[in-house]
Structures are given as C-alpha cells and as structure tokens.
C-alpha cells in the first residue's frame, strides 16, 4: 500500500489516505485519459488552424499529416471521427469563400490595417480553388463608416467595437463590394508570417524583375530604408519574404498582390514537402507560429467536412487572379481628398462582380474560345462597343461589334454551336438576362464563321 497526504480542512493537518492497488490503477487510467484528451484538443486546434491557413492550397496534405501523427497512435481522420460531418457554410451553393487578411499586428504603426486582402474560394462541385487578390487601396463603402480604403475595414471594426470585431466588418465590406458571401476568415500578422516561413526553413522565390524601393519602412517603423533585390532565384527567410511581399512604392499594389500570391504558393509548396511534413520539429514550430499569430472563425467541427471535401481537390486546380488597373483591367486610379485610391473603371462594381462570380468559369470560357459577333441594334451609340469591351475583359473571343442600320425591339442570343459551348452560353445568359436560341449555322454571310451572335435590342439595359 502507498501513502498519500492530503490537507484536512481548516487546521491544515495532514491525514494519511491509503489506496488499494485497484484504486491506483483506476486513477492512473483516468490521468492518462485526461492527458490524452488534452493532447487531442491541442492537435484538433492545430488541425483547424492548419486547414484554415493552407487547406485551400492542397488538401492532399492530409494524407501526409496522417503519416506524421501515425507514430503517436493518432491520425488525421481518426482525430475527426467524433466530429459531426455537417456541411460547411456555403457548401450547399457549391462554393466556400474564405477571406485571408495579412496585417502588421501589435507593435506596428497602423497594425490593424490589412496589407493583404485575398478571397480564397473553394468550388466544392468542381473541386477547384481560386485566389483573388484585392488591392488595399480599393475605395469602397465600409458599412457604418462611409467610404474609405478597403484595408481600413478591419481597423474600423476593432476600434468601434463592431459586433464580431474587425473580422466581421472586413468580411461584410468585402462581401458587399464583390457581391459574394464570405463564409470564413483567416488573419495572420507579420510576425506570424515571418515565423511560419522560418519554421519551414525558408522558401525559394523566382524574382521576376529587379526591385529598388528607397521608401521601405525601417526596423523601428519611424523612417524609411532602401530595399532592393535582383531578378532571379532567391532563397528567402521570413524577414526577406516579408519585405518582398510588402514593398510597393516603386512598383504597384497589383505587383505586390502578385508577389504575395507567389510567396503564399511557395509557403504551400514548402509546408507540403516531405522535408517539412516528416520533420516533427518544423511541425511544432509551425504550430507555435499559428497559435499565437493567427486568428480564424473556423471551428474544429468544420475540420471533418473540410477533410472530406479536400480529398477530391488536386493541387494543380488553383486559379490566381488580381483585380487590377492594367489596360484591360477593371480598376482606375483616382485621387480622393488627396489620397490615391482605386475605383471601378466602369463607374460601378458590375464588371468586377462579374469577374469574381465567374472566376471558375473563366478557364473554361477561354478553352471554349467561342467566336462572338455583336450586332448593336439598340439605337444608342456605343452600346455594342461597351459590351464588347466588357466581354473581352472577361476573356471572351469577340470578333467584332457591328452597328446595325435598323433597330430591334428585343435583345437576343443566337447559338450556332448546338449547345457545345455551355460555359460561354451560361455566362452570356446570366449577364444579358435572355435565354439563348439554338439555330443552324448559316452557310454564308458574316455570321457563317461565328459561333454566337448577340443582338442588342432597344430593351437592353447595361
């Protein structure tokens, strides 16, 4: 028999308590069970963060994660066996949208302003993923705060104690601007970004062009210093990758957005590599970085469904886009109250929203390469040209826009392909709000080599 001592009430006298062998065995089992439960909760929490951060890049990581945890008697699917497999938010409509936010965080001036704003969208029906970068200087309506740069939304929400805080206001702002639901968010600060890259031993980046930025913030965040890097392959630690991702003064916000996507993809490749996934030290370091520098509204209950959905996604099914102000872009630069911002080129958000809503269809539209001719019979000068410009921005093959001599009452879409260009037809029907008519292709005339003819009638509304 063993003797254990216990405080006995107010006089603090110590009374020996004796336990039988059976009692000791039972207590040991309970202690091990509690430790196992705590261990399981810690791993489940990591799983949720891990999925939120890189899940949309390559869900095949789960098979690797299972192997790593196998030595402990725990595997990724096993961790999730007791969780309900309810649908993710947005899954019933075929798309789960996640807002990725990167910011300075504590100790940085303007630490709650989001330098990175990316919508990661998972198409659960086609098993594809898209990343859409939103410029930080996009001038939008922030609910309850009037117009401002989109990177101010999170800070406004935190400062004004908005219901749900900065994440909720950032989600609502992006949702209303792009006219899509935002189901989840993941927020990482600069220190977490740096630590994650250092935890995996750095990343390899192919720098596309020389960068010289004499206006990069210095270490104390009180002045400026020179940041420069030469074109070519570079191995970057977290500090170098952060500078590469943040520099923009001598390039542009859109160049920076592309670099951010490049860095995120490099992190994905390194995290999913065998040298990381089979290295418990690196995994522990990643867990530490995620735990203290990342916030998300993914719950552990979402993990099982993400796992089930993610098994079907191939890592090469990733589309990366930047909403930009290039010659064929959707934005234009403007000056509002002395501040340089970006606004919708068309004067409203319709083209931007079309671009975002049809991001997955875009690759198929390009592959279909449908020959389109527009007949402008609206009687309003320039209507056909505007539609042509809009469709070309979306990647459509518009051969010509012809102004008809006579007007037509009704707008129509004529399909000469026998329905063989489904993605193009689906998009045009949604945009123009008319059903396509199937007809035999004419053997001669200007429409003989055309797949689809759009006739703009007097009823057409832009």
Domains, the chain: 91-355 (3.40.630.190), 362-456 (3.30.70.2390)
- Quote the pLDDT of residue 92: 78
Write down the residue that tokens 């922030």 correspond to. 142
| pLDDT of 34 higher than 80 | no
- Quote the pLDDT of residue 86: 67
| pLDDT of 307 higher than 80 | no
Is 378 in contact with 406 (CB distance < 8 Å)?
no
Is 123 in contact with 360 (CB distance < 8 Å)?
yes
Is 310 in contact with 62 (CB distance < 8 Å)?
yes
453 versus 120: the higher-pLDDT residue is 453
At residue 113, the 3 state secondary structure works out as coil
Model pTM?
Answer: 0.61
Report how far residue 55's alpha carbon sits from residue 32's, in angstroms, rounded to the nearest whole number. Answer: 32
80 versus 433: the higher-pLDDT residue is 433
Q: What stretches of 375-449 show up as alpha helix (H) in DSSP?
A: 383-393, 422-432
Question: CA torsion sign, 68 to 72 to 75 to 79?
Answer: negative
Report how far residue 377's alpha carbon sits from residue 407's, in angstroms, rounded to the nearest whole number. Answer: 4
Question: Of the ranges 6-10, 188-192, 275-279, 289-293, which one carries the lowest mean pLDDT score?
Answer: 6-10
Question: DSSP secondary structure string, 206-225?
Answer: EE-S-EEEEEEE-TTSSSEE
Q: What is the mean pLDDT of residues 320-336?
A: 83
For 9, 405, 431, the CA distances from 412, given in Å and listed in that order, are: 89, 17, 12
Tokens in use for 261? Answer: 């996507």
Q: What is the mean pLDDT of residues 261-289?
A: 72
Report how far residue 392's alpha carbon sits from residue 411's, in angstroms, rounded to the nearest whole number. Answer: 19
pLDDT tens digits along 237-260: 999 998 998 887 666 767 877 888
250 versus 78: the higher-pLDDT residue is 250
Residues with Cβ < 8 Å from 91, sequence gap 6 or more? 124, 305, 309
Mean pLDDT (the chain, rounded): 78
Tokens in use for 375? Answer: 């007949």
105 CA to centre of own chain: 20
Tokens in use for 23? Answer: 């009692």
233 beta partners: 206
Question: DSSP secondary structure string, 26-94?
Answer: HHHHHHHHHHHHHHHHHHHHHHHHHHHHHTTT-TTHHHHHHHHHHTTT--HHHHTTTS--PPPTTGGGT
At residue 256, the 3 state secondary structure works out as helix
Is 456 in contact with 387 (CB distance < 8 Å)?
yes
Report how far residue 65's alpha carbon sits from residue 279's, in angstroms, rounded to the nearest whole number. Answer: 11
Q: What is the mean pLDDT of residues 8-29?
A: 48
């Amino acid at each position: 028999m063993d003797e254990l001592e216990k405080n006995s009430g107010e006089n603090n006298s110590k009374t020996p308590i004796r336990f039988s062998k059976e009692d000791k065995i039972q207590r040991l089992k309970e202690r091990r069970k509690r430790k196992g439960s705590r261990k399981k909760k810690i791993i489940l929490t990591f799983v949720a963060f891990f999925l939120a951060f890189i899940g949309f890049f390559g869900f095949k990581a789960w098979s690797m994660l299972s192997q790593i945890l196998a030595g402990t008697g725990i595997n990724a699917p096993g961790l999730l066996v007791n969780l309900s497999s309810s649908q993710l938010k947005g899954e019933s409509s075929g798309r789960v949208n996640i807002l990725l936010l990167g910011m300075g965080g504590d100790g940085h001036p303007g630490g709650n302003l989001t330098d990175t704003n990316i919508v990661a969208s998972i198409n659960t029906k086609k098993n594809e993923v898209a990343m859409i970068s939103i410029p930080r200087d996009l001038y939008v309506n922030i609910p309850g705060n009037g117009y401002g740069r989109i990177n101010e939304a999170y800070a406004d929400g935190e400062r004004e104690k908005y219901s749900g805080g900065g994440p909720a206001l950032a989600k609502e702002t992006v949702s209303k601007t792009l006219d899509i639901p935002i189901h989840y968010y993941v927020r990482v600060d600069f220190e977490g970004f740096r630590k994650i890259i250092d935890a995996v031993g750095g990343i390899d980046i192919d720098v596309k062009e020389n960068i010289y930025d004499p206006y990069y913030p210095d270490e104390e965040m009180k002045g400026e210093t020179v940041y420069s890097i030469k074109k070519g392959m570079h191995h970057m630690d977290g500090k170098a990758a952060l500078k590469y991702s943040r520099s923009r003064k001598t390039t542009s916000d859109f160049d920076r957005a592309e670099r951010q996507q490049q860095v995120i993809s490099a992190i994905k490749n390194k995290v999913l590599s065998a040298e990381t996934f089979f290295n418990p030290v690196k995994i522990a370091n990643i867990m530490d970085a995620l735990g203290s520098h990342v916030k998300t509204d993914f719950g552990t209950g979402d993990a099982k469904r993400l796992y089930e959905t993610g098994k079907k996604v191939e890592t090469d099914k990733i589309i990366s886009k930047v909403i930009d102000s290039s010659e064929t872009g959707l934005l234009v630069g403007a000056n509002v109250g002395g501040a340089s911002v970006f606004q919708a080129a068309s004067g409203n958000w319709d083209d931007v929203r079309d671009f975002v809503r049809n991001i997955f269809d875009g690759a198929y539209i390009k592959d279909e390469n449908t020959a389109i001719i527009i007949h402008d019979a609206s009687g309003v000068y320039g209507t056909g040209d505007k539609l042509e410009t809009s469709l070309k921005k979306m990647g459509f093959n518009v051969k010509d826009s012809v102004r008809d001599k006579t007007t037509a009452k009704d707008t129509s879409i004529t399909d000469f392909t026998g329905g063989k260009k489904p993605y193009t037809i689906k998009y045009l029907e949604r945009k123009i709000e008319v059903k396509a008519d199937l007809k035999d292709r004419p053997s001669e005339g200007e429409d003989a080599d055309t797949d689809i003819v759009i006739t703009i009638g007097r009823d057409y509304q832009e």
